[in-house]
């Protein structure tokens, strides 16, 4: 019997990792304005001053994380050359479905050495977690930049964003400095913070706009040159990836997914070159995968609200008002053994976020003096994709 991998002796790819989400390019293309804004926001660190707090906004796949990593690596390298600059310590925490205690605990453990016991998952208060973090920061000394990715998913961002900017003024740290870099897809996140937090932060905002087709073409050309063997990918296929992504999300991640998936399809079919036809075939696969990833990025209650609307959609009961959606949401939350949110306002906030991200569409109705005005919601994505994503997430949870 022939071995299943014995005849696999050819590939179109030279370095497939270049097309992955985790790949960090040596040079950032088409983000000169954002790099300049980042440089201005971080420059105080070079002179030993307190770092600014920075909020970075933009859709998924538009370079927020890549530019952040690039700038922080450049900052660390530059501070090593300057006597007036403190040592810089960058620590990254993804806030998806996290708590303040979990975030602080993770930062403590990222600063502790391998010979030190990890901070416990439970049993201590958040105040003790903060105290432990501050003690460790002062023991190490220098400037700490805490990157809080998906910060809008943190369960109580107010507490964390009030603590860190005031840590030095309140005497919690004396031998160190701290700055927060928050990354979010939600442009309205700042509005959700309490007034005292907004006043304390005094953050600098950097907004990443979607890429256009020419910008995506420039990025893809550079990646494809490294990713594929000579002559294994047509210029037309690259151009099509850029055009499709620009028309949809404006994200480089989607364009790269199309190109990588198109390459996989060309290989599986035994073709010698990635063509437009492969990219067109890849389009539906990438679309479903992207919906799944976007759903995964939402808080658990945001996901449950979305599934509730999908259920109503399948029962042909949409467009639906928020009260109707809440009733289904409570059933869905109970089914998965989650404690449901109790206020209608919380449900409406999630509906607003889902509408802003393109999962839902919203229409305003007015019933006159008796009924007043209200919004109704319906699904803007495929219901089956929602159900598939939710099943996968719940399987991983068990």
Residues 252 and 193 in one domain: no
* Domain assignment present for 322: yes
Q: Could you tell me if 142 and 87 are in contact, meaning their C-beta atoms sit under 8 angstroms apart?
A: yes
Residues 202 and 222 in one domain: no
What is the Cα–Cα distance from 87 to 359, expressed in whole angstroms? Answer: 43
Domain at 46, CATH number: 3.40.50.300
Which residue do the tokens 């850029």 mark? Answer: 242
Taking residues 111-123, what's their average pLDDT? 91
Residues 261 and 137 in one domain: no
Q: Which domain holds residue 48?
A: 32-208
What is the Cα–Cα distance from 149 to 167, expressed in whole angstroms? Answer: 21
Residues 55 and 125 in one domain: yes
Residues 178 and 267 in one domain: no
Lowest mean pLDDT among 150-154, 287-291, 320-324: 287-291
Domain at 244, CATH number: 1.10.8.60
Q: Sheet holding 373-379: strands in order across?
A: 320-321, 373-379, 360-366
Tell if the pTM clears 0.75, that is, is over it: yes
Residues 66 and 119 in one domain: yes
Give pLDDT tens digits for 58-112: 988 899 999 999 999 999 999 999 999 999 999 999 987 678 999 999 999 999 9
pLDDT computed for residue 398 by the predictor: 65
* Domain assignment present for 240: yes
Query: Mean pLDDT across the chain, nearest whole number?
Result: 92
Residues 6+ apart with CB under 8 A from 190: 55, 198, 205
Alpha helices (runs of H) in 276-372, residue ranges in sequence order = 276-296, 300-314, 322-335, 344-356, 368-371
Tokens of residue 27, six digits: 């040079």
Last residue of a domain, one of 180, 208, 236: 208
Annotated binding site for ATP: 62-66, 211, 223
Q: 185 falls in which pLDDT band (50, 70, 90)?
A: confident
Q: 370 falls in which pLDDT band (50, 70, 90)?
A: low
Q: Which long-range contacts (CB under 8 A, 24 or more apart) does 41-45 make?
A: 41/204, 41/206, 42/71, 42/75, 45/75, 45/79, 45/85, 45/86, 45/88, 45/143, 45/145, 45/179
Beta pairing class for 88-94 and 142-149: parallel
Residues 234 and 265 in one domain: yes
Q: 357 falls in which pLDDT band (50, 70, 90)?
A: confident
pLDDT computed for residue 294 by the predictor: 82
Q: What percent of the chain has pLDDT over 90?
A: 75
pLDDT computed for residue 2 by the predictor: 60
Residues 48 and 129 in one domain: yes
DSSP letters along 17-73, please? Answer: GGGSTT---SS--S-HHHHHHHHHHHGGGGGTPPPPPEEEEE-TTSSHHHHHHHHHH
* Domain assignment present for 330: yes
Annotated binding site: 62-66, 211, 223
Residues 270 and 337 in one domain: no
Residues 255 and 166 in one domain: no
* Domain assignment present for 6: no
DSSP state of 119: P
* Domain assignment present for 162: yes
Give pLDDT tens digits for 25-46: 989 999 999 999 999 999 999 9
């Amino acid at each position: 019997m022939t071995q299943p991998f014995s005849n696999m002796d050819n590939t179109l790819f030279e370095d497939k990792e270049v097309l992955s989400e985790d790949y960090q390019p040596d040079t950032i293309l088409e983000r000169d304005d954002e790099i300049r804004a980042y440089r201005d926001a971080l420059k105080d660190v070079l002179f030993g001053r307190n770092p600014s707090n920075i909020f970075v906004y933009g859709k998924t796949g538009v370079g927020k994380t890549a530019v952040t990593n690039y700038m922080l690596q450049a900052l660390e390298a530059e501070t090593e050359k300057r006597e007036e600059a403190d040592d810089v310590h960058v620590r990254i925490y993804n806030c998806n479905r996290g708590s303040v205690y979990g975030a602080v605990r993770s930062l403590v453990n990222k600063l502790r050495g391998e010979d030190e016991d990890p901070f416990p998952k439970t049993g201590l208060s958040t105040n003790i977690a903060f105290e432990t973090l501050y003690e460790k920061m002062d023991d190490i000394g220098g400037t700490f930049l805490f990157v809080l990715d998906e910060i809008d998913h943190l369960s109580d961002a107010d507490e964390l964003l009030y603590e860190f900017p005031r840590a030095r003024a309140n005497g919690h740290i004396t031998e160190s400095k701290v700055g927060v870099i928050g990354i979010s897809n939600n442009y309205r996140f700042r509005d959700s913070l309490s007034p005292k937090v907004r006043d304390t932060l005094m953050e600098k905002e950097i907004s990443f706009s979607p890429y256009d087709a020419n910008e995506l073409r420039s990025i893809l050309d550079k990646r494809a040159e490294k990713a594929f063997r000579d002559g294994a990918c047509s210029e037309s296929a690259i151009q099509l990836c850029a055009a499709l992504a620009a028309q949809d999300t404006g994200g480089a991640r989607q364009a790269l997914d199309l190109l990588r998936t198109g390459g996989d399809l060309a290989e599986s079919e035994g073709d010698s070159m990635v063509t437009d036809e492969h990219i067109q075939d890849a389009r539906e696969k990438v679309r479903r995968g992207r919906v799944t990833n976007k759903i995964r990025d939402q808080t658990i209650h945001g996901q449950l609200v979305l599934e509730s609307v999908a259920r109503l959609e399948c029962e042909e009961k949409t467009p639906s008002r928020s009260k109707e959606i809440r009733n289904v949401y409570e059933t869905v939350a109970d089914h998965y053994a989650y404690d449901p949110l109790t206020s209608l306002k919380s449900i409406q906030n999630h509906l607003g976020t889902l509408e802003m991200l393109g999962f839902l569409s919203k229409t305003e109705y007015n019933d006159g003096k008796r009924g007043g005005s209200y919004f109704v919601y319906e699904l803007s994505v495929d219901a089956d994709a929602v159900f598939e994503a939710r099943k996968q997430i719940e399987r991983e949870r068990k």
